[in-house]
Every structure is written in structure tokens, then in C-alpha cells.
Amino acid sequence: MVKEHDNLDSHGEQTLSLRLRVWRQSRGTTGHFEDHALAAVPTSASFLEMMDMLNEQLIKEGKDTFAFDHDCREGICGMCSMTINGMPHGPLPGVTTCQLHMRNFRDGEMITVEPWRAKAFPVIKDLAVNRSAFDKVIQAGGFITVRTGSATEANNTLIPKPVADEAMDAAECIGCGACVASCKNGSAMLFVGAKINHLNILPQGQPERERRTLAMVKTMDDAGFGNCTNYGECQAHCPKSITLDVIAKLNRDYLRARVKEFFSSTGKPRKGGD
């Protein structure tokens, strides 16, 4: 954090003048950077509020705004997705773009803003990308099959506190995709590992453990995500501080599922009705 703000706004608050280099891309085009100057940005503003200011300035000039994804603006919905100065969600560890504030930038600084860059996340417009590949992975097996109304009494399932806590650590993933955007391979293994770890360690998740793991990994591969080669960038940029061990556990569960599949095979083609 640098304290060299000389500008003050009408509330006596420090403000910044910024140079912004922002990605502009329409459907069917290759895209390019556009440079804009933005003055009087309060240091208390969030990064997205700074983007709102830029967009209001563009509207005054009669120009199209920059489209970007955002919703809750409190770090939980996982919708915001900007690569700021080359870092998904910007320079602060453990926060989303919406929770990044302008006091973390310097007056006169040039800030580069790009969308998530990954093969599996095509750009829709400007800074907004299509992350439906994540939904497809969950649809393949990121659930426990339980029909509404068929659940048993909740306290019939005893879950040791450490197990529940570990499941919760993994379940905190917000599905933003920063792990993919930060990975040189465009790998989604932190995201998939988090969901596998959440469900596969709980007693409720055991009946579908192998099937879930194989289906999610296959869908992940089919969607065009790369593989993990232990760069660790995903862990460094995850706004929820999900750690690499979920990938190790994913690999373990995948191996276990493949081995079980091999030995349970009868050699006959599988019949329907699973």
C-alpha cells in the first residue's frame, strides 16, 4: 500500500487519477485494448465502483460501456471476474475483485484490466466470459442424489466435527474461475478438487463416490480444461484460499475410482438401469 495521495475530493477524501488499459471485444471479433484516463477516483471506492465511474464517463461521451460480470459485490457470488495487472482478482490475496479497493493503487498508475483468459471460458463481451463449463462439470456429478422428501432424520447421520469442517473448507469455493484463469494450463482441478473433496469425504457422499469422480473428471477434460502440473498459481489467486491438497485428494480419488472400476469390470458391456 502506497501513501502518496495528494488529491482530495469535496469530502476531503484522497482521490486518484488513473490510466486504464481495458480489454474491448465484441462477439465475433478478436478484441483489443482501449486506453482511458479516469480522474477523481476516491481511494475508498471498490475496483468495480471505479469501473462504474469509467462507464458513466463513457456514457457521457455517448460511447459504449465496458461489460463486466458482477453481482453481490460482497465476495460470495463468484460472478466478478477481472484479470487486473495480470492477476485474477488483482493483487490482494484472498479477495475477489469486488472486495478490492482503490487504496491499493497509486496515483497516476496504469492499470490493465482483462477478462479471464482460458480456452474453456470464451469471451462474451469485453470483460465478461462464459463459464458454463463449470456448471457442466457439476451437472455431471457434483451432487448427492437425494429426492425432495426422501431424506432421513438429519441427526441419524453422525459426522465428526473435523470431517464436517474439512468438507466446509472445500465447500467454500465460489466457482469464480480464478483458478483456471491463473493457471498456465487453464486447469480446473482446484475447482473440481474442491467439490470432490466436499462431497467425497462426507458419509452421504459415499454411495456415488467413484461414479462422481470419474464423471466430473471426464466432463472437465471434455470441456477443454488443461491438466495440473503443480504450478500452484490457482492456490495463490483463489479468493477463498482453497489449498492445493484438494487436487492431491482428487488425484487419489480418481486413481481409486479407476482401480475399482477395473476390478469390478466383468468384461461384459454395461447394461442400462444404473
Partner 1 sequence: MKLDSKIPAGPVADKWSNHKAKMRLVNPANRRKYHVIVVGSGLAGSAAAASFAEMGYEVSCFCYQDSPRRAHSIAAQGGINAAKNYQNDGDSVRRLFLDTIKGGDYRAREANVYRLAQVSTSIIDQCVAQGVPFAREYGGLLANRSFGGAQVSRTFYARGQTGQQLLLGAYSALSRQIGAGTVKMYTRHEMLDLVLVGGQAKGIVTRDLVTGEIKAWASDVVVLCTGGYGNVFYLSTNAQGCNVTATYRAHRRGAGFANPCYTQIHPTCIPVHGEDQSKLTLMSESLRNDGRVWVPKDKADCTKPASEIPEERRDYFLERKYPSYGNLAPRDIASRAAKEVCDEGRGVGQMVDGKRLGVYLDFSAAIKRLGEPAIRERYGNLFDMYENITGENAYRQPMRIFPAVHYTMGGLWVDYNLQSNIPGLFVGGEANFSDHGANRLGASALMQGLADGYFVLPYTVTDYLAGVGLTGRPSVDAPEFKAVVKEVQDRTQWFLNNKGNRSARSYHKALGKIVWEKCGMARDKAGLEGAIRDLQALRADFWKNILVVGSGDQLAPELERAGRVADFLDFGIMMCLDALHRDESCGGHFRTEYQDAGEAQRNDDKYAHVAVWAWQGDGQLPVRHTEPLVYEDVQFTTRSYK
Q: How far is the CB of 247 from partner 1 (least distance, A)?
A: 20
CB of 68 to partner 1, least distance (A): 8
- With CB under 8 A as the rule, give the number of residues binding partner 1: 84
DSSP assignment, residue 150? -
Single-letter amino acid, residue 118: A
What DSSP element (H or E) covers 139?
A: helix 132-141
DSSP 80-124: ---EETTEET-SSTT--GGG-BGGGS-TT-EEEEE----TTS-EE
Query: Of the listed pieces 107-115, 148-156, 228-236, 244-252, which binds partner 1 according to CB under 8 A?
Result: 148-156
Q: Is 138 in the site for partner 1 (CB under 8 A)?
A: yes
- Distance of alpha carbon 19 from alpha carbon 21, whole angstroms: 7
- Find the binder of partner 1 among 114, 115, 198, 238 (CB under 8 A): 198
Cell 471426464 belongs to 218
Site string for partner 1, 162-181 (x = CB under 8 A): --xx-xx--xx-xx------
The correct pick among 134, 191, 225, 254 for binding partner 1 (CB under 8 A) is: 134
Cβ atoms of 189 and 235 within 8 Å: the answer is no
Which residues within the stretch 54-73 sit at the binding site for partner 1 (CB under 8 A)?
A: 55-56, 58-60, 62-65, 67, 69-73
Minimum Å distance from CB 155 to partner 1? 5
Closer to partner 1 at the Cβ: 10 or 264? 10
SS3 158: coil
45 binds partner 1 (CB under 8 A): yes
Percentages of the chain per state (helix, strand, coil), in multiples of 5: 40, 15, 45
Residue 140 interacting with partner 1 (CB under 8 A): yes
Does residue 158 belong to the site contacting partner 1 (CB under 8 A)? yes
Q: Which of 23, 47, 78, 111 binds partner 1 (CB under 8 A)?
A: 78
Q: How far is the CB of 137 from partner 1 (least distance, A)?
A: 9
153 in contact with partner 1 (CB under 8 A): yes
> Segment near partner 1 (CB under 8 A), from 4-12, 179-187, 220-228, 257-265?
4-12
**By CB under 8 A, what part of segment 102-131 binds partner 1?**
103, 124-126, 128, 130-131
The reply to whether 235 sits near partner 1 by the rule CB under 8 A is: no
Contacts of 210 (CB under 8 A, 6+ apart): 253, 256, 257, 260, 261
6 versus 61: smaller Cβ distance to partner 1: 61
Buried b (16+ CB within 10 A) or exposed e, 243-267: bbebbebbeebbeebeeeeeeeeee
Amino acid making up residue 13: E
Distance in Å, CB of 139 to partner 1, minimum: 3
Least separation in angstroms between CB 186 and partner 1:
18
Q: What whole-number distance in Å separates Cα of residue 199 and Cα of residue 179?
A: 20
